[in-house]
Amino acid sequence: MKTTNNSMLITGGGSGIGLEIAKLFSRKGNKVIITARNEEKLKAALAQLDGDAHYIVADVTREEDVAALVQQITNDFPDLNVLVNNAGHARIHDIAQSEDALQIARDEMETNYFGVVNLTTGLLPVLKKNKDAAVVNVTSIVAFAPGLSLPTYSASKAALHSYTQSLRLSLDKSAIKVFEVMPPLVDTEFAKDIKSDNKISPAEVAMELMLGMATDNYEVRIASTEQLYRNFLGRPDKAMLALNGLPLQ
Ligand SMILES: NC(=O)c1ccc[n+]([C@@H]2O[C@H](COP(=O)([O-])OP(=O)(O)OC[C@H]3O[C@@H](n4cnc5c(N)ncnc54)[C@H](OP(=O)(O)O)[C@@H]3O)[C@@H](O)[C@H]2O)c1
């Protein structure tokens, strides 16, 4: 997959990993459209991008916003050939204790799963018109083994991982490639309440995505995600204990 001269929509492009993806790809000669809910953040992000860059305010959990976003892309950016589903939401909680687990799980699924399914479905007709196209879904290391402090978030990323695998196979005969980016802990606002010395930078995630696209590596398992994945293939139970820093039984 080429990594220049693309026209890319990046959800959650106003901060964190999405912003670093937007910065890197705009520097390398791609048209970048960033979208998120907070217009001030999007404006500040846009000021950091090079070349042909735009922003559109949209909440991926609101069906009317997604419909309007799809319409605007169809009308104003019919050359769109890459969709990066990066927007994400997580709450730290303990499912054995929290009384609002259902609401938390629903909120996470709305952003991390249903929002992706809705936007992808809406934009597939645009992507199909291009000879060289891609969908990039940002999942997580916890798609393989759940993190106990992020139980319902982990489930939403496992759902997105499964959807991504099906989408890839369903589009196998088309010109649309389907990539999945699986970061470990990343040093962004998102992970600020999770204590760890092992966070990687969001710029590293952006670099790994670019490398993954250039080499048609469809499952981009970044840093410790690769080792966790290998453990998971052999002993899923041990992979889960290791991910959560628990003693191996
Ligand atoms: N940080 C980590 O440790 C880590 C690890 C693995 C995977 N990830 C994944 O990486 C992705 C990016 O996260 P990040 O670490 O870069 O966090 P971040 O800096 O908090 O970025 C999340 C972005 O998503 C946007 N967003 C949230 N809800 C949205 C909604 N309903 N509609 C549209 N945009 C929405 C936010 O912008 P607004 O608030 O303006 O809408 C923000 O720009 C997420 O999918 C996350 O699950 C993160």
> How far is CA 194 from each of CA 15, 202, 224, rounded to the nearest angstrom?
18, 15, 16
pLDDT at residue 83 greater than cutoff 90: yes
Atom of ligand 1 nearest to the CA of 187: 1
Which of these is catalytic: 153, 163, 218, 229? 153
Dihedral of CA 13/194/192/188: which sign?
A: negative
Dihedral of CA 17/23/27/28: which sign?
A: positive
Rounded CA-CA distance 240/142 in Å is 9
Choosing from 19, 60, 111, 188 the residue with most ligand 1 atoms within 8 A of its CB, the one to mutate for a pocket test is 188
pLDDT of residue 173: 95
pLDDT at residue 77 greater than cutoff 80: yes
Find the mean pLDDT for residues 87-91: 98
Q: What is the pLDDT of residues 43-59, one digit of tens each?
A: 999 999 999 999 999 99
218 catalytic? Reply is no
Residue ID of nearest Cα to ligand 1 atom 17 = 190
**Predicted confidence band of residue 204 (pLDDT cuts 50, 70, 90):** very high
Going by CATH, does the domain composed of 7-243 fall within 2.40.110.10? no
Interval between CA 68 and ligand 1 midpoint (Å): 21
pLDDT of residue 249: 72
Find the mean pLDDT for residues 50-78: 98
**Predicted confidence band of residue 248 (pLDDT cuts 50, 70, 90):** confident
Rounded CA-CA distance 48/144 in Å is 34
Choosing from 35, 86, 109 the residue with most ligand 1 atoms within 8 A of its CB, the one to mutate for a pocket test is 86
140 touches ligand 1 (CB under 6 Å): yes
pTM above 0.95, yes or no: yes
Q: What is the pLDDT of residues 157-196, one digit of tens each?
A: 999 999 999 999 999 999 999 999 999 999 999 999 998 8
State the chain's mean pLDDT as an integer.
Answer: 97
Residue ID of nearest Cα to ligand 1 atom 36 = 12
